[in-house]
Structure 1
Amino acid sequence: MTRIAAEALIGFVTRAFASLGVPDRDAKAVAVLMVEADLLGYDTHGLFRLRQYVNRLRDGGCNPRAQPKLLRETSATALIDGDNGLGHLSMSLACDLAMIKAKTAGIGWVGVRGGNHAGPAALYVRPQAAAGMIGLCAAVGSANHVAPFGGSDLLLGTNPIAIATPGGNDPFVLDMATTVAAVGKIKTLAQRGEAMPEGWMVGRDGTPLTDPTRRDEGFLLPIGGAKGYGLAMAIGLLAGTLNGAAFGADVVDFTTDTKTPTNTGQFVAAINIAAFGDPAAFVADATRAFAQMRASDPLPGHDPVRVPGDGREATRARHLASGVPVHPTLRAELDRIAADLAIAPV
């Protein structure tokens, strides 16, 4: 791994977007969030995605000068149209607005349509936890890689969901796909020339698929079989159908189709703990529960028990101090992007 300073990476991504017509302020805002994903260790959803974003901006599938706008609003809810811009812009707006509404209404729920891929869902629930609230976020996946349980047609995405709460040194942050593995992990393995474990994907004949370069020959498996399928459906309805966004056969593969707007659907929610009780008591009780989980004796051969979100703050601090680790294959791709866009390399 090569380690590169976060500021240098932010500057590079900003230059890349600006060269494609994205206003400097928006380019910098998205670059900061992308690098934040890598700082926290979500390396399949940060810099790794730059090539996809660049291709869509270049080919017209994404609007570089988007102006997300508010379509509907109540005291506790809102609907935002992302104007087919970089997804981070509309999702950041949704996150901020949800928190504002939660302060007065007790809860804020903001849906997004006309969006695009926006990195890891964790980015849009961590601010709530930092503010002493509970965060919730979900999205319709940016391509269909999953068949309905018992079927063989690709009609569902990984449809991720994230939840965060305050408590202890590390906030509780659950960020998960509704599939056994996220597509980003599989693409990362393919980029690095590594195999994937059995149980992540199967071919259309139902046999295990372990070569990540052949992922288009099969489909991802949902977590928990029919239960994961049902959860992905529920997220699709809440993040897609409810917002007037794409779901099912209407979903556009944002990697293979770089010219068609995706109309990606997402939602962000914030829950004000003070609407239900004493926030300090919640944090104390949650911290005690986290300690109980970690103190559980591990099974033979298992590492100590962790709570979702453990270690992310330490990882961020380490990467800020010593640089973000960049795999050689990703570094080579960043250099190719620089050459393609005629900008200074990182």
Structure 2
Amino acid sequence: MNAPAVSFRRARVDAVVALIADCLAAAGLSRDNAAAVAELMTEADLTGADGHGVFRLPQYVRRLRAGGFNRTPSITVDRTAPATALVDGDNGMGHLVVKRAAEAAIDIARETGVAWVGVRRSNHAGSAGLYAELPVRHGMVGIYSAVASANHMAVWGGKELLLGTNPLAIAVPTGAGPMVLDMATTIVSYGTVKKYALQGLPMPEGWLIDRDTGEPITDPARSGQGLLLPIGGYKGSGLSLMLGVLAGILNGAAFGRDCVDFNADDTSETDTGQLVIAVDIARFVPLDRFTAEVDRHMADLRASARLPGVEAIRLPGDRRRECRTERREAGIPLPAALIVQLDKVAAELGVTPLFER
């Protein structure tokens, strides 16, 4: 099957930030909170995580207006031990909650060398790599995981939707900027499936299978009938399970059957669980030495012998860095179908449309 042509238009980065902030403020967030979320959402687009940036704005606005998100949350941090804390998000937007958790982890790690901060009563927070990167700016290793805000995978061998795409992101500093591994525990995130559905594109085989027959599903409109496949077979299923235990059960947050599908429900509290870990590199080795050694080994890996047909060795963070550089200059590419949705949201909220800014 040949994919239909999809037209894109480039939007200025500052215009995207302003549109998101204005829409979220019009939907009930404070100006400061709307601006903070807008920066994080746009950063997702800049780093190539297109399923987690402005693409999510219509859904977030719906939940704000329907009461699914608390517009004025009181986010609290409970320091449970010298190196641990538990954040209660008060059902606020996930970006605000996890940003606060990352800030707490950084502050604690400055004192103790390492910090583990759990999160409960949060929501979908977008791209995992955003939050793993935050500690890197302070000379630390950052690790982030979450219970996905909907179940799209089964335990290995099962067919019930009881596990999520539960992501894992790890970031370390290098001379060229953060090296970031940002991955779902399924072959693709559900945001990617939604993106294909919006653009009317067929999906490759190997992403989704029918829950009853096990046959491949390539029509994203049929995704509700399917299971997302885990990375690495049973290993990906097991990794999703363990991350769900750490980010969900350990924090008193939702897991398994208790998860609320925020794609289908705009009003219920999702009680999403997340975790942020920060490790102060200087407690182990001087930061400049660590960075130099990472750079040396990265150079060695890039220069290693390649398999036939491989033009270049690519490492975690390469695409993020290239996207950020290219999109800051050329603008963020948006498909025509998404622009229609964004214009509709802007009109409903009485804010200036994206391409009139």
Alignment TM class, shorter chain as reference: over 0.9
- Contact preservation (8 Å) 2:153, 2:164: yes
Alignment match, 1:192: 199
Following the alignment from structure 2 to structure 1, what is the Cα–Cα distance between the partners of residues 319 and 175? 12
Match of 2:293 among 271, 274, 285: 285
1:275 aligns with 2:283: yes
Indicate the SS of the match to 1:80: strand
Alignment match, 2:33: 26
* TM value normalised by structure 2: 0.94
- Contact preservation (8 Å) 1:170, 1:311: no
Q: 1:311 to 1:198 in 2, by over 3 A?
A: closer
Alignment match, 1:315: 323
Q: 1:180 to 1:311 in 2, by over 3 A?
A: closer
- Contact preservation (8 Å) 1:68, 1:82: yes
> Could you tell me how far 1:36 is from its partner in structure 2?
1.0
Following the alignment from structure 1 to structure 2, what is the Cα–Cα distance between the partners of residues 303 and 48? 32
Identity %: 49
4+ residue segments displaced more than 3 Å: none
> Could you tell me how far 1:341 is from its partner in structure 2?
2.0
Following the alignment from structure 1 to structure 2, what is the Cα–Cα distance between the partners of residues 253 and 208? 23
1:166 aligns with 2:173: yes
Alignment match, 2:127: 120
Following the alignment from structure 1 to structure 2, what is the Cα–Cα distance between the partners of residues 311 and 180? 18
> Could you tell me how far 1:72 is from its partner in structure 2?
4.0
Indicate the SS of the match to 2:151: coil
- Contact preservation (8 Å) 1:122, 1:174: yes
Indicate the SS of the match to 1:315: helix
Q: Which amino acid aligns with 1:173?
A: V
Alignment match, 2:5: none
- Contact preservation (8 Å) 1:170, 1:310: no
Indicate the SS of the match to 1:125: helix
- Contact preservation (8 Å) 2:174, 2:295: yes
Q: Which stretches in structure 2 are left out of the alignment for 5+ residues?
A: 1-7
Following the alignment from structure 1 to structure 2, what is the Cα–Cα distance between the partners of residues 250 and 160? 18
Q: Which amino acid aligns with 2:257?
A: A
- Contact preservation (8 Å) 1:170, 1:312: no
- Contact preservation (8 Å) 1:72, 1:79: yes
Match of 2:17 among 1, 10, 19: 10
Indicate the SS of the match to 1:194: coil
Following the alignment from structure 2 to structure 1, what is the Cα–Cα distance between the partners of residues 104 and 78? 13
1:46 aligns with 2:57: no
* TM value normalised by structure 1: 0.97
> Could you tell me how far 1:74 is from its partner in structure 2?
2.1
Q: Which amino acid aligns with 1:6?
A: V
Query: Within 5 A, what are the aligned runs for 1:291-310?
Result: 291-310=299-318
Q: Which amino acid aligns with 1:282?
A: F
Out of 100-109 and 137-146, give the one that drifted further.
Answer: 100-109
Following the alignment from structure 2 to structure 1, what is the Cα–Cα distance between the partners of residues 203 and 175? 34
Q: Which amino acid aligns with 1:240?
A: G
Indicate the SS of the match to 2:316: coil
> Could you tell me how far 1:168 is from its partner in structure 2?
2.8
Alignment size in residue pairs: 346
- Contact preservation (8 Å) 2:174, 2:291: yes
1:239 aligns with 2:251: no
1:220 aligns with 2:228: yes
Following the alignment from structure 2 to structure 1, what is the Cα–Cα distance between the partners of residues 226 and 173? 39
Following the alignment from structure 1 to structure 2, what is the Cα–Cα distance between the partners of residues 293 and 337? 46
- Contact preservation (8 Å) 1:143, 1:157: yes
Indicate the SS of the match to 2:141: strand
Alignment match, 1:333: 341
Following the alignment from structure 1 to structure 2, what is the Cα–Cα distance between the partners of residues 303 and 117? 37
Q: Which stretches in structure 1 are left out of the alignment for 5+ residues?
A: none
Q: Which amino acid aligns with 2:101?
A: A
- Contact preservation (8 Å) 1:4, 1:324: yes
1:255 aligns with 2:263: yes
Deviations 1:279-300 (A, max 9, x none): 2221111111111221123222
Match of 1:144 among 145, 151, 164: 151
Following the alignment from structure 1 to structure 2, what is the Cα–Cα distance between the partners of residues 306 and 24? 40
Match of 1:182 among 171, 184, 189: 189
Q: Which amino acid aligns with 1:227?
A: K
- Contact preservation (8 Å) 2:302, 2:312: yes
> Could you tell me how far 1:107 is from its partner in structure 2?
0.4
Indicate the SS of the match to 2:239: helix
1:207 aligns with 2:212: no
Q: 1:281 to 1:30 in 2, by over 3 A?
A: same
Alignment match, 2:104: 97
> Could you tell me how far 1:99 is from its partner in structure 2?
0.9
Q: Which amino acid aligns with 2:122?
A: G
